Chains A and B, each alone.
Chain A
Amino acid sequence: MALNKEHELHKRRHGRNLGVGLLLASFVVLVLALTLVKVTSSGFQFPQTQSEQN
């Protein structure tokens, strides 16, 4: 069976794949936003390294 670039499976699962893709992209944006909020908050401190503790 010849392998086509656009297999029938891709068409059939287009909606599902699109949904998963959008979800993953949203998750990345969310983690980025969360990180920005955390590091810009007034109480944020970098964790102490081993050498600083000694």
Chain B
Amino acid sequence: MSDASINASTVHEGEASFGDYFALLKPRVMSLVVFTAFVGLIAAPVGVHPVIGFCAVLFIAIGGGASGALNMWWDADIDQVMKRTKSRPIPAGKVEAGEALSLGLALSGLSVIMLALATNVFAGAFLAFTIFFYVVVYTMWLKRATPQNIVIGGAAGAFPPVIGWIAATGSMSVEPWLMFALTFMWTPPHFWALCLFMRSDYDDAGVPMLTVTHGRPATRKHILVYTALLAILAVGTAFSGIGGPIYLAVALVMNALFLHGAWKIFGRNEDNSEADDFKVERSFFKLSLLYLFLHFGAILVEATLKPYGLGGW
């Protein structure tokens, strides 16, 4: 068969569109990265030119997307086993794993260099470290090795507000690390709730999720403990430089709801959960998305009001 005939017949079926390559960047994760990095940038005590701010958030997002593509390249084998990831471009046969690798590496280099040029070298270096952490430490090393994968791996998703802050200030302080800690502590209960109602997915793929290694009752206990620790941290942040009365009100309401949800999950067993198709676990997962959005939204509001003498304490 000639090259021409390959083009005309084989490749023609299900050929990758522009959208398939974009899907390699995990757009939903990217939206979280964009939002938290933007909040980190705005909450910083230094004003940034809008064009530089836009570039900073864009290149942090591209860096996040690049790590997503590299994650899909490495995890192509387990992605085709899990229901949740089966339709991703590589397992769906739209994009070759090697293409994801090339795209991921190219975008990693581009995002790091451009962020360093647009803002400062420290921010670029920190973005490079974040990509390394997500791809090498989490995806290649921890994900298939330990049930604490999501706890440590969650750090990668928590770095963007720190990078946003560094992009604005060129230095580090306590406040961006509070934003980091918020996402870091939020990730485990968020993911473990997903594991509870996605049941056999991680089992089938052989990924040592807590539900697989320690059992589902232990996972429910872990969700409650992490949610309690998260609540202390989230409410405590209200009294820091990035907090204020609006943030405190949001944190009190959201953490009360989140703790209530975690308590309900803890009090249930598999029979209860299967009877209502994991209704409580599903609503806890949805609430977790709103939880993070509102906390960062409140930090953003406090920072935006500060120049008018309204935000903060």
Kindly state whether residue B275 has any CB partner on chain A within 8 Å: no
The answer to whether residues A34 and B16 also contact, given A1-B4, A41-B49 and a CB cut-off of 8 A, is no
Closest to A8 in B: B8
CB <8 Å contact, A12 and B51: no
Measured between alpha carbons, how far is A18 from B55 in the docked complex, in Å?
Answer: 23
Give the contact-size bracket for chain B: 10 to 19
Q: Which residue of B4, B16, B55 contacts A16 across the interface (Cβ within 8 Å)?
A: B16
B118 touches A34 (CB 8 A): yes
B15 in the interface (beta carbon within 8 A): yes
Q: Please determine whether A16 and B8 come into contact, CB atoms closer than 8 angstroms.
A: no
CB closest residue in chain A, given B22: A19
Whether A12 pairs with B15 at a CB distance below 8 angstroms is: yes
A30 contact set on B, CB distance < 8 A: 55, 58
A25 on interface, CB distance cutoff 8 Å: no
Select from chain A the residue with minimum beta-carbon distance to B4: A1
Given contacts A34-B52, A37-B52, contact A9 B7 (CB under 8 A): yes
Q: Does B213 contact A (CB under 8 A)?
A: no
Q: Does B308 contact A (CB under 8 A)?
A: no
Partner of B51, one of A8, A9, A34: A34
- B17 within 8 Å of A (CB atoms): yes
Using known A-B contacts A34-B52, A34-B118, A41-B49, determine if residue A12 contacts B16 with beta carbons closer than 8 Å: no
Provide the B117-129 mask, 1 if CB < 8 A to any CB of A, else 0. 1100000000000
Which chain A residue lies CB-closest to B7?
A: A9
Within the complex, the shortest CB–CB distance from A28 to chain B, in Å, comes to: 13
Residues of chain A lying within 8 A (CB to CB) of residue B55: 30, 34
Interface digits, A2-36 against B, CB 8 Å rule (1 contact, 0 not)? 00000011001101101110000000001001100
Nearest CB in chain B to that of A19: its residue: B18
Q: How far is the CB of A20 from chain B (nearest CB, A)?
A: 7
Which among B7, B15, B51 is the interface contact of A33 at CB below 8 angstroms? B51
Give the complex CA separation of A33 and B4 in angstroms: 43
Contact A16 B51 (CB under 8 A): no
Provide the bound-state CA to CA distance between A37 and B8, in Å.
Answer: 48
Q: Mark A24-54, 1 if CB is under 8 A from B, else 0.
A: 0000001001100100010000000000000
Contacts of A20 in B (CB 8 A): 18
Q: Would you list which residues of chain B between 100 and 120 have a CB under 8 Å from chain A? A: 117-118
Give the interface of A toward B (CB within 8 A).
Answer: 1, 8-9, 12-13, 15-16, 18-20, 30, 33-34, 37, 41
Q: List 18 A-B contacts (CB under 8 A).
A: A1-B4, A9-B7, A12-B12, A12-B15, A15-B18, A16-B16, A16-B17, A16-B18, A16-B21, A30-B58, A33-B51, A34-B51, A34-B55, A34-B117, A34-B118, A37-B49, A37-B51, A41-B49
